[in-house]
């Protein structure tokens, strides 16, 4: 990242973000996908809400190792938390 500073700006904080992926194998679920109301994932558990009120939950605590080699996002802030630059 090349930082393009305006006059008077001084970087004070750099924040980086990383991505982690979880894989949920849903091919063997007996689901009528036209009857799915919503899908969400929280705390490594995929929840599929059906229109009739039923829920399907799959938990995956594996593969939680994040690759910290290259961040997916980097933001540079000044002392007032205004964004100076981001990538």
With a cut of 70, say whether residue 53 has pLDDT above it.
yes
Q: What's this model's pTM, rounded to 2 decimal places?
A: 0.60
Q: Tell me, what's the pLDDT at 16?
A: 93
Q: Tell me, what's the pLDDT at 63?
A: 63
Q: Which has the higher per-residue pLDDT, 63 or 77?
A: 77
With a cut of 80, say whether residue 87 has pLDDT above it.
yes
- Helix (H), strand (E) at residue 49: strand 45-50
Strand order in the sheet with 45-50: 36-42, 45-50, 55-59
Residue range 4-39, pLDDT digits in tens: 788 888 898 999 998 887 888 888 888 999 999 999
């Amino acid at each position: 990242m090349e930082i393009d500073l305006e006059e008077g700006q001084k970087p004070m904080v750099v924040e980086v973000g990383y991505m982690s992926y979880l894989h949920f194998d849903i091919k063997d679920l007996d689901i009528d996908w036209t009857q799915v109301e919503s899908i969400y994932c929280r705390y490594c558990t995929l929840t599929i809400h059906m229109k009739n009120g039923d829920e399907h939950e799959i938990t995956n605590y594996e593969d939680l190792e994040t690759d910290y080699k290259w961040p997916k996002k980097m933001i540079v802030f000044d002392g007032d938390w205004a964004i100076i630059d981001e990538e």
